[in-house]
Structure 1
Amino acid sequence: MGANTSSKPPVFDENEEVTFDHFEILRAIGKGSFGKVCIVQKNDTKKMYAMKYMNKQKCVERNEVRNVFKELQIMQGLEHPFLVNLWYSFQDEEDMFMVVDLLLGGDLRYHLQQNVRFQEGTVKLFICELALALDYLQGRHIIHRDMKPDNILLDEHGHVHITDFNIATILTKGMQVTTIAGTKPYMAPEMFNSTKSTGYSFAVDWWSLGITAYELLRGRRPYHIRSNTSTNEIAHVFRTATVMYPAAWSKEMMSLLKKKGRLNCDPTFELEEMILESKPLHKKKKRLAKKEKDTNKSYSSQGCRLQKHLESLQRDFIVFNREKMRRHHNEIQENITLAQTKDPEEEDNQNNNL
């Protein structure tokens, strides 16, 4: 009996804040400079998500906290079928967590590296879906600034979803952006020439979409620009390069570009996370429990400045729960509907009784 009892999943109150304990870690699927991604399952609903977690100390040391907070702020206000949507955000002593839609089709960069050549009809579908997503973002005054195959994920049905709002920015009405941000081979010409008087706007995302579509069709980009290419060289490329359009492409596709199932990831990520990682996620609970008991090894002994930054991060972190937000919205709608459908006679009788 004891074994049967212990095997039951823990019961969580739907009104309590979602934490790391609400999820079961299934496997690691990727990592960046200070953030990693794993597949998780929520214990109560059994829904699968992707969980991105970022080490707080590394974020502070690399001055990335502002970008993380900005990404959270932007993603909380978004929900669209062709975006990777945020569901929960929370934190613990070590990490900040973002739980988002799980898309198992892999990113488009992965497929390009596998020498996949997309048919024109497929690329047309991608363009339509991405255009709807970009139009949605523009309606909310958001420039993504990093549209590229790496940041476009496929779901199991072959539809595309834009991810990674780490360098996205909110455009104030009537203003233009002047800061240079993005991945050079996909950046629009005006981004390299932006000054305080002449900036750029939403059009840069559409340029990046055009570069991406060309690359998906041809297997390489239209301009020979790399991440280490200098700004002067890039300007020269834009002035002198002639973009080639294969004869097999339709006139409609060329005109457009001229106007502007299984888990697809590297399996070595799992090995690194479970074996080579110094602080693996699946041992977090034991690690934090040990840290809590060891009161002598506090952060205060490791430098006041870092500790102050970590405390500030802990205080200002944005907690989010889309599930709870939807539930609250539905309750409001039900109350409004109930009030609208109330029998007028019954209301008059109540007034008379009063």
Structure 2
Amino acid sequence: MLYPTCYALQGVEDDSHKGGGGFCDIFQGRYEGQALCLKVVRLYKKSKINELLKVGDHFLSTEAILWNQLDHPNIAPFYGIFYQSNPARICLVSPWMEYGDIVDYLNKEPGAPRLPFVYDIALGLEYLHNENIIHGDLKGLNVLVDEHRKARIADFGLSTILTDETLGFTKTTMAPSGHTTRWASPELLEEDARPTRGSDIWAFGCVCYEV
């Protein structure tokens, strides 16, 4: 089964490359006059595209379905999936956050109050846990600042899923469970460890230190 067609967006335009990580590139795009964030999954095996789009088999559609169900002022909204055939690439689409991630924002605005951001992140994480969702890769780079200077959590477990070697993605610096090592709780460094609410809380503490 391919991803639900209701998630597909048409007519998205990408304007400029803004950055990237170990497994994706970030572009700023536009759709119906609105600025968008296009997270372009970095693919090295074109034959894997259809596999990525299958619900339940690989990450992309499952991630889209999960993200689409989330609705909270401290969670980054999900707009849909954009598939471009030439060049072949798949994008997760969300609103463009002009202030970027919280680390970059605070570097540029060192006098900004910190505690409101900590509260925002705590509320967002509480919401996820109440929905029985483990974030799995909470860190400052995955917390965005919106136009109202409110913190919004993004990237729900994406890094953990994308480290599957069979998909041909570039690896990032991950612990065995798929977490970014610096934010991983001690138990996640053990073989076959899986993320929990407790490991999310540990990562939240690390984010508080970043902030």
Q: Report if TM-score (shorter chain) is over 0.5.
A: yes
Q: Choose which of 183, 202, 205 in structure 1 pairs with 2:200.
A: 205
Q: Choose which of 20, 32, 37 in structure 2 pairs with 1:31.
A: 20
Corresponding residue number in structure 1 for 2:189: 192
Q: Give distance in 2, aligned partners of 1:205 and 1:59.
A: 34
Aligned identity (percent) is 24
Which structure 1 residue ranges, 5 or more long, are not aligned? Answer: 1-14, 170-178, 217-354
Corresponding residue number in structure 2 for 1:149: 140
1:209 alignment partner AA: F
Q: Give distance in 2, aligned partners of 1:74 and 1:157.
A: 25
Q: Choose which of 118, 122, 131 in structure 2 pairs with 1:127.
A: 118
CA distance 1:132–1:194, shift in 2 (3 Å):
farther
Corresponding residue number in structure 1 for 2:101: 107
**1:49 alignment partner, SS class:** strand
Q: Choose which of 79, 91, 109 in structure 2 pairs with 1:87.
A: 79
Q: Give distance in 2, aligned partners of 1:118 and 1:210.
A: 21
Q: Give distance in 2, aligned partners of 1:53 and 1:95.
A: 7
Q: Give distance in 2, aligned partners of 1:195 and 1:29.
A: 35
Rg larger in structure: 1
1:77 alignment partner AA: Q
**2:63 alignment partner, SS class:** helix
Q: Give distance in 2, aligned partners of 1:125 and 1:35.
A: 30
| 1:235-250 correspondence to structure 2 within 5 Å | none
Which one is further off, 130-139 or 71-80? Answer: 71-80
Corresponding residue number in structure 2 for 1:162: 153
Q: Give distance in 2, aligned partners of 1:129 and 1:201.
A: 20
1:34 CA drift (Å): 4.2
- Indicate the structure with greater strand content: 2
**2:79 alignment partner, SS class:** strand
- Indicate the structure with greater helix content: 1
CA distance 1:139–1:194, shift in 2 (3 Å):
farther
Q: TM-score, normalised by structure 2?
A: 0.72
CA distance 1:118–1:185, shift in 2 (3 Å):
farther
Q: Choose which of 25, 46, 50 in structure 1 pairs with 2:37.
A: 50
Aligned residues: 182
Q: Please tell me whether the aligned partners of residues 89 and 96 of structure 1 are also in contact (alpha carbons under 8 angstroms).
A: yes
Q: TM-score, normalised by structure 1?
A: 0.45
Q: Give distance in 2, aligned partners of 1:95 and 1:185.
A: 30
Corresponding residue number in structure 2 for 1:182: 179
Q: Give distance in 1, aligned partners of 2:179 and 2:114.
A: 23
Which structure 2 residue ranges, 5 or more long, are not aligned? Answer: 1-5, 53-57, 162-175
Q: Give distance in 2, aligned partners of 1:123 and 1:59.
A: 43
